[in-house]
Amino acid sequence: MKNHSCPPGCTNGLSQICGTSLDLDDLNFAESKNHLLYVNKVYSKGEGVASPLVFNLNTSPATFQTQLLLSPLRSQETDNLCEEVLGAECNCRRDRNRDSIFDSNGNWGCDRDPNRREGINCNCNCNCGNVLGAATCQLDENAVFTILRSRVRVTSFNLEHPGCLSPNQVTVDGFPVDSLFNFDGSYEASVDSILPDIIKKPCAENNLPTKAFFLISCAGPWIFQAEFIVEGTVNTNGTICCFRATFSTFCPTPICANIPVVNLSVPKISIPCASGGMTPRIVFNFGANMNLLNPILRLIPDSDNDALRLVLDTAVAVEPTVDVQVLKQALLCINACEAIFPCEGTDSELESEEEEEEELEQECQCGNGNQTAGASNRPSNCSCRSRNSSRNPSVLGANTSCSSCFRGF
């Protein structure tokens, strides 16, 4: 039986494509009882941000894939790109009875509040009164781009040589960590030997973690993968069009960011003491915030295929970040129903598989067991679950305290 959970009030068939899906028909659960579990408890989570650094970027075709979307400003389509770029409040639409462009209230590219005399949103750069030409956008080498906004979506930002980050570069309260391991861009540091130097006695006496200063020194150089998105208007052949240009780094080849090494710190991370044979460990990974500074778009002739190539020239301000977590295994007592699985390679495993096949072939027997419960003569309170309930609940998990919560009732 598969259940799809969906928030109350969701419509449009979201429950068919969203939510959890659990199939527990083939699982048997024991009775609920206390279990001891080791879990990773998070004692601290924080982020450190380095000072902004700037490097120059040119989107050459060898390292970037370019996508350009164009839409005429005078387009009548409801999904006009201009509404996304310039804002829906501009409401630039062509008056069918006139040659100029007006908004939905008959004003020149601006909404008006009926309760106010002055216009609002008049700085949205619709330029509706200046639009002439065809309703299509054909770029030439004389096209002039006006960038209105830009953003960067960073998908990966990491050290160019992850293995070169040494334990001496990662310190807690000035003490280098014992060892450092890299797991596909995520780092784990052990601090066993320096715990006596970090943990403060008043904190340990009260079973509380100690706050400490976490520092990564001289980290770099860096590589990244990202999408650079610029939007605005372009004047080409007498027609003003809206555009959205997306420059994406080729995967899996990252781009080397020509920026110097940086220091990253988190002033207060909480370090718990060693207890029960368990010691804390520090897990961290890198990221970045990026912004474009004075971006410029140019069309360059491509001699290879007699076409034009769009190039982005810009300065990029980048803030390297580090996400830090302090983890320690904690022993918890949890009341739960455990799923029962026979040991592999035993007779019990073979018998369990044979029983499942028999249950699939046989119909559900209800009542006194002398008649088959079909669609017409089955009692209303009779089901296959009733047959399971007659068995040992510790083996088949048919007790109500378990089956009701795990089977979605």
Mean pLDDT confidence for 93-107: 40
Based on the domain organization, do 249 and 325 belong to the same domain?
yes
pLDDT surpassing 60 at residue 283:
yes
Based on the domain organization, do 191 and 306 belong to the same domain?
yes
Q: Which residue among 298, 333, 368 closes a domain?
A: 333
Q: Do the Cβ atoms of 209 and 272 come closer than 8 Å?
A: yes
Count of residues in the chain: 409
Based on the domain organization, do 327 and 358 belong to the same domain?
no
How do strand 307-336 and strand 33-49 relate by DSSP bridges? antiparallel
Whether 254 is in a domain gets the answer yes
Paired tokens of 106: 């008959």
Whether 107 is in a domain gets the answer no
Based on the domain organization, do 230 and 328 belong to the same domain?
yes
Paired tokens of 204: 């340990």
Q: Which residue among 333, 359, 388 closes a domain?
A: 333
The range of the structural domain enclosing residue 185 comes to 40-67+152-333
Closest CA to 30 of 335, 309, 346: 335
d(CA 224, CA 236): 34
Q: Do the Cβ atoms of 228 and 312 come closer than 8 Å?
A: yes
Q: Give residue 63's pLDDT band: very low, low, confident or very high (50, 70, 90).
A: confident
Counting the structural domains of the chain, the total is: 2
Give the DSSP per-residue string, 91-157: --EE-TTSSSEE-TTSSSS--B-TT-SSBSSTTS---GGG--S-SS----TT-EEEEEEEEEEEEEE
Based on the domain organization, do 309 and 263 belong to the same domain?
yes
pLDDT surpassing 50 at residue 119:
no
Whether 101 is in a domain gets the answer no
Whether 141 is in a domain gets the answer no
Nearest 5°: CA angle at 244, between 241 and 250? 145
pLDDT surpassing 80 at residue 251:
no
Task: Look up tokens 């460990």; give the residue.
Answer: 281
Chain-centroid distance, C-alpha 46: 18
d(CA 158, CA 286): 6
Based on the domain organization, do 259 and 291 belong to the same domain?
yes
Whether 157 is in a domain gets the answer yes
> Which has the minimum average pLDDT: 139-148, 213-222, 249-258?
249-258
- The reported pLDDT for the residue numbered 360 is 53
Based on the domain organization, do 301 and 390 belong to the same domain?
no
Based on the domain organization, do 298 and 245 belong to the same domain?
yes
* Distance set, CA 339 to CA 2, 36, 346, 406 (Å): 18, 15, 18, 10
Residues 76-105: b if buried by 16+ CB within 10 A, e if exposed: eeeebbbbebbeeebbbbbeeeeeebbbee
d(CA 283, CA 362): 53
Based on the domain organization, do 292 and 354 belong to the same domain?
no
Based on the domain organization, do 27 and 163 belong to the same domain?
no
The count of other CB atoms within 10 Å of the CB of residue 122 is 15
Based on the domain organization, do 251 and 278 belong to the same domain?
yes
Q: Give residue 243's pLDDT band: very low, low, confident or very high (50, 70, 90).
A: very high
- The reported pLDDT for the residue numbered 172 is 98
Whether 75 is in a domain gets the answer no
Based on the domain organization, do 269 and 184 belong to the same domain?
yes
pLDDT greater at residue 307 or residue 361? 307
Whether 54 is in a domain gets the answer yes
Whether 76 is in a domain gets the answer no
d(CA 79, CA 72): 12
Q: Which residue among 285, 310, 333 closes a domain?
A: 333
> Across the chain, what does the average pLDDT equal?
76
- The reported pLDDT for the residue numbered 28 is 86
